[in-house]
Amino acid sequence: MSEEKINFMAKAEQYLKPEVIRNVARLDLRAKFIVEGFLSGLHTSPFHGFSVEFSEHRRYSTGDDPKDIDWLVYAKTDRYYVKKYQAETNITGYLMLDLSESMGYTFRQELTKFEYSVSLAAALAYMMIHQQDPVGLVTFDQKLRTILPAKSRRSQLATILALLARAQPAGPTEIAHSLRQFAPMVKHKSLIMLFSDLLVDPEPVLDSLRLLRHAGHDVIVFNVLDEAEVTFPFSGSVSLRDPETEKQLKLDASGIRNDYLEAMKELQETYKKECLAMGADFVPLDTSMRFDTALVEYLSQRRARF
């Protein structure tokens, strides 16, 4: 491998680290860097070339992208033909982003849960648009706030990134209600990607996910937590505040650590077990993780189905 290629890979892969990506202000560049870093790490992976497979040639017609013209065929036939590609995983996707205030939390990581989710959603939108898959965006708190229909044209990416850049976490959330509200709006079988900390009663959420699965949709749940919510690195007397109810509790960290960690483990195990039972995918993440953890999980599950 050339020194230039090695340097490129090293530079690209650094953007898989949340503490580095935080310094990239523009969301389009952030998404691009995450995806390029991810792809640079797939040079020996079975996912290499995952996006599309060459199918056949067909005559060029109005509306086709001139970039798809096969100039070698033109040189031989003096006629315009385009390469027809068949997406290996062609499906409509919807990114569903939780706007609850709790998503705006970070203890010592560079990215809040919300910023991490936005970066990951932007990267997934970037990937789907570039492999010609329609993708839309839904944001919600206690009700649906943004509903962008799925499209595959390149301008869709700019629209999604603009909406993500303007979104802000604030107030309480109703995940189950929002999922149920959105379900009848999706007329065709789609891939629903949910980004949330899921710090609510799991049963109503799971019931809503079952409703989506019953309708034939594929579901991937990205459970994004702050690193501190997973490891509970606190000591001494701590004051904990629920950002959505404003309730505060003053507790002895060492006295509740084991109970807290057990409760968090049980919550995630419940989501994981029930998602598996209904045929949905559950991807636990925390804000200290590199983005390729989620991207590899997403692609492996998507390829397994299609």
172-181 residue pLDDT tens: 999 999 999 9
**125 has a pLDDT exceeding 90:** yes
Instruction: Name beta bridge partners: 138.
Output: 96, 147
In a domain, 4, yes or no: no
Q: Tell whether 111 and 198 lie within a shared domain.
A: yes
Answer positive or negative: Cα dihedral of 254, 259, 260, 264.
positive
Q: Tell whether 178 and 247 lie within a shared domain.
A: yes
Structural domain boundaries, residue 57:
52-87
Residues in the chain: 306
Q: Tell whether 56 and 133 lie within a shared domain.
A: no
In a domain, 16, yes or no: no
Task: Single out the residue in 87, 105, 136 at which a domain terminates.
Answer: 87
Which of 169, 199, 219, 197 lies closest to 285 in space, CA to CA? 197
Lowest mean pLDDT among 85-94, 144-153, 216-225, 268-277: 85-94
pTM of this prediction? 0.80
Q: Tell whether 209 and 80 lie within a shared domain.
A: no
Query: What is residue 43's predicted lDDT score, i.e. its pLDDT?
Result: 47
| pLDDT tens string 199-234 | 999 999 999 999 999 999 999 999 999 999 999 888
Tell me what the pLDDT averaged over the chain comes to. Answer: 84
Q: Tell whether 74 and 219 lie within a shared domain.
A: no
Q: Tell whether 75 and 99 lie within a shared domain.
A: no
Task: Single out the residue in 41, 70, 87 at which a domain terminates.
Answer: 87
Query: What is residue 76's predicted lDDT score, i.e. its pLDDT?
Result: 61
In a domain, 7, yes or no: no
In a domain, 45, yes or no: no
In a domain, 99, yes or no: yes
In total, how many domains does the chain have? Answer: 2
Task: Single out the residue in 28, 63, 87 at which a domain terminates.
Answer: 87
